[in-house]
């Protein structure tokens, strides 16, 4: 999933799952998330079961938050264009 965003949300709720992983697994999980969010689409099969499980619920949630943000930006941009168009029309009248 390549995205033009420069950031993504990491939810506080993930803290307990991170605590269950070893330091190495935490690093693997973070790097797997980064790679897949930037478009690499790396396969999870080469990672531990703990990383795979954590990834399986974190990635879709992060992806949903990114899509929601992008939709909000799109709607706001469209609303601004409509607002500016109305301003121009009222000035021309």
Instruction: Count up the domains in the chain and report the number.
Output: 1
3-class DSSP assignment, residue 4: coil
In a domain, 5, yes or no: no
> Which structural domain, as residue segments, surrounds residue 27?
12-92
Residue 2 falls inside a structural domain: no
Q: What is the average pLDDT score of the chain?
A: 87
- Mean pLDDT, rounded, for 60-76: 89
- Binned at pLDDT 50, 70 and 90, residue 88 comes out as confident
CB-based contact 59:36 (threshold 8 Å)? yes
| CA dist., res. 84 & res. 75, Å (int) | 14
Contact 29, 21 (CB under 8 A): yes
Residue 80 has pLDDT above 80, yes or no: yes
pLDDT beyond 80 at 91: no
CB 47 within 8 A of CB 12: no
Q: What b/e string do you get for 46-61 counting C-beta neighbours within 10 Å, with b at 16 or more?
A: ebeebbebbbeebbee
Q: Is residue 1, in this structure, part of any structural domain at all?
A: no
Q: Please tell me the pTM assigned to this model.
A: 0.73
Q: What is the pLDDT of residue 3?
A: 59
CB neighbours (10 Å) of residue 33? Answer: 19
Query: What's residue 86's pLDDT?
Result: 81
């Amino acid at each position: 999933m390549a995205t033009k965003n420069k950031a993504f949300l990491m939810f506080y709720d993930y803290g307990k799952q991170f605590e269950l992983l070893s330091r190495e697994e935490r690093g693997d999980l973070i790097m797997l998330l980064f790679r897949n969010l930037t478009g690499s689409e790396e396969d999870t099969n080469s990672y531990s079961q703990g990383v795979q499980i954590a990834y399986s619920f974190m990635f879709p949630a992060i992806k949903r938050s990114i899509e929601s943000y992008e939709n909000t930006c799109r709607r706001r941009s469209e609303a601004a264009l409509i607002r500016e168009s109305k301003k121009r029309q009222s000035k021309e009248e």
